[in-house]
Amino acid sequence: MTIVADPERLGRIALPDGRVLGWAEWGPEDGAPVLLCPGAATSRRLGFGPDAVHRLGVRLVSADRPGLGASSPSPGRTFADFTTDMRALIASRGLGRPAMVGNSQGAPFALACAVAGLASAVAVVSGADEIAAPEFADALPEELRALVDRVAAEPDDAERFFRGFGADAMWTMVMNGSPASDLDVYGEPVFAAAYRRALDEAFAQGPEGYARDTALAMGRWPFDLSGIDVPVSLWYGEQDTAHSPDNGAALAARIPGARRHTVEGIGGAVLWTHADRILTALTRR
């Protein structure tokens, strides 16, 4: 089974304010559109399920968030700004009302699009939870709690701190914090090369794009999850201790009708090990 492959199509679109936004695609051009919000500090090139998208007739589209990869910076951007960019991409690429996948740090960005009415369904996969929410006040490790408090009290200072990360630091952090089941995936030579390339591309313009993403994801999310009226599924590996204090239980409870799946034998790499299952459930709904 192939878990990653180079994009089949690459391009950029011009946005109304003069910036550009980079995109990548896999699967048939006339397939059912699925828009991916990639994980932290990874570029548009790191997709998933290259075999599954053809078997299921899925047109998988991934986009670089501003300041990452091929997309122009947008200092001070908000979740609302991101949904505006995605609206432009959807129109430019003729995606209609796509299903969306939010992986890791991409999860709140996908959920923001659902609140804005851009998505027909959403799969949150190893999703970054709203760790600044009150219910997690006593559930976070001390170091993470301090970062959350820093984002809330001194957001500019927190963002400067996040600018201290680069591709090597991100690689080390993921490798040191992952269970053996994930390391089997991340250490596979083809995947490792693709992941490293995606990290290098994400930081090619500097760390500002990653820093802004992280400040947004770790703060309070300024949108109402109870207003989502499309199917939402949440997928967490049972061994995942990095993305949500409770593997998405509280997050699922805040989204009407959400279905949560806990996958045995894997951690945060579930997007790549269970792509067929995730895409099948997403597109059938």
Mean predicted confidence (pLDDT) in 149-178: 97
In a domain, residue 257? The reply is yes
Instruction: Give the pLDDT band (50/70/90) at residue 3.
Output: very high
CATH number of the domain bearing residue 211:
3.40.50.1820
Interval 108-132: pLDDT, tens? 999 999 999 999 999 999 999 999 9
In a domain, residue 252? The reply is yes
How far from chain centre, in Å, is Cα 169?
A: 19
The DSSP bridge partners found for residue 261 are: 235
Strands of 74-160 (E only): list them: 99-103, 121-125
How far from chain centre, in Å, is Cα 63?
A: 10
pLDDT at 2: 85
Please provide the average confidence, as pLDDT, over all residues in the chain. Answer: 97
pTM score, two decimals? 0.97
In a domain, residue 156? The reply is yes
Q: What percent of the chain has pLDDT over 90?
A: 98
Number of structural domains in the chain: 1
In a domain, residue 3? The reply is no
Contact 107, 128 (CB under 8 A): yes
Q: Which amino acid is it at 245?
A: P
**Nearby residues of 218 by Cβ (< 8 Å), 6 or more positions away:** 131, 132, 147, 148, 151, 158
State which residues form the domain around 135: 9-283
In a domain, residue 256? The reply is yes
In a domain, residue 1? The reply is no
Mean predicted confidence (pLDDT) in 169-195: 97
Looking at per-residue pLDDT, the higher value among 2 and 164 belongs to 164
Given a cut of 70, whether residue 68 has pLDDT beyond it is yes
In a domain, residue 226? The reply is yes
